[in-house]
Amino acid sequence: MCTRAHIPMRILLLQLKRIGDLVLTSPAIAALRTALPDARIALAVDTGTADLLPAIEGIDEAIVFGKRRGWTPWQQVLTGRWDACLDFTGTDRSALASRLSRAPVRATFEWVRRKRLRALAYTHFINSAVRERHTSDHYGDLLGALNVSTAVEGPRLRIPPSARADADELREPLDLAGFRYALLHPGSARVEKYWLPERWAEVAAHLRSRGIGIVFTGKLEGYEGDHVEEIYAHLRRIPLLPMRYFPELPTLAALIADAILVISTDTAVVHLAAAFQRPQIALFGPTNPFHWRPRHEHAVVLSGAQSDAPLTQFDPRMKGAPMERISVAVVCRAIDTLLANDRVNPSR
């Protein structure tokens, strides 16, 4: 007697937002993989985050939307024979993709229901108040559409071998004291998140006094490039200048994974450092760290709203404050505290 062959469940995940959102979706992807080990999981992302796809664990297929992608991603969605589609994004584009998936279960968050035309694309709405939840927890809530419950852990990524090799090649000619270096990432897509250039220079001088090498990362162009150049103007007075790099995303992740300390503004680097549980200092100004903070034990969160000490209590209604309220002294104290911990050895 013939029996029907087992057909794995096919699940489409739509995360078309920015790098930080993709990293903070990784715990939900890992939980889904654990709960449904035989499922075929496809992850759809935007071109701006596609370079990070090799670092995401638990996926079998990738779909990339964006400029110059043409009809290809839409065709992949339309012909995928999906059993379920989970939309973490909630935009017009992701709603259309969800509807075209023709999955029997098409789920997103309850807030999307307020967009009446957009809401027509879905069969299930998950009640998760984004203002009351850490972003990782919020994304994890969407798994409820498949009756998958989990206590969401921190983000998790893997380093592709090619990115590891690229990072090693960048570090090889540098005097980084046997790979003992701090990675500083001062930039962001939002100018109001910038810390004062001279304060970055003072922090760099403090690290050099501790015998720590320094790698600055960021973008070459636009406001962020100008900001880094301003910082370097102040650094010219410091002997043993730090090195600066503008690597591709996977290489940046590899550099972060081996740093003994990561200091950054509220940007994707916060989440990349958290994915490898590197000792880190995250600087928050206009944004509320309740939703975006790293949550591992070797993370220090500093906010202009409480400028005298690291935050230990987080409130979803906390108001932001200018970055300039964060002093050099409080950052240097956090550096000394983290460097005193034996976890500062590289992870590799």
In which element (H, E) is residue 83 found?
A: none
> Pick from 112, 106, 151: which is nearest to 129 by CA?
112
pLDDT top residue among 163 and 221: 163
Name the average pLDDT for the chain.
Answer: 91
Q: For 93-115, what is each residue's pLDDT tens digit?
A: 999 999 999 999 999 999 999 99
User: Is 244's pLDDT higher than 90?
Assistant: no
Of 232-246, 267-281, 301-315, least confident by mean pLDDT is 232-246
- Topology alike, domains 10-146 and 161-344: yes
**DSSP alpha helix (H) spans, 218-345:** 222-235, 249-258, 268-275, 289-292, 328-339
Domain at 161-344, CATH class: alpha beta
Percentage of residues in the chain with pLDDT exceeding 90?
75
Q: For 140-160, what is each residue's pLDDT tens digit?
A: 999 999 999 776 678 989 999
The phi and psi torsions of 132 (rounded to 5 degrees) equal -105, 5
Which CATH architecture describes the domain 10-146?
A: 3-Layer(aba) Sandwich (3.40)
pTM above 0.75, yes or no: yes
Q: For 189-229, what is each residue's pLDDT tens digit?
A: 899 999 999 999 999 999 989 989 888 998 878 888 889 88
Give 199's DSSP letter.
H
Domain boundaries, the chain: 10-146, 161-344
Q: For 27-80, what is each residue's pLDDT tens digit?
A: 999 999 999 999 999 999 999 999 999 999 999 999 999 988 999 999 999 999
With beta carbons less than 8 A apart as the criterion, state whether 231 and 196 touch.
no
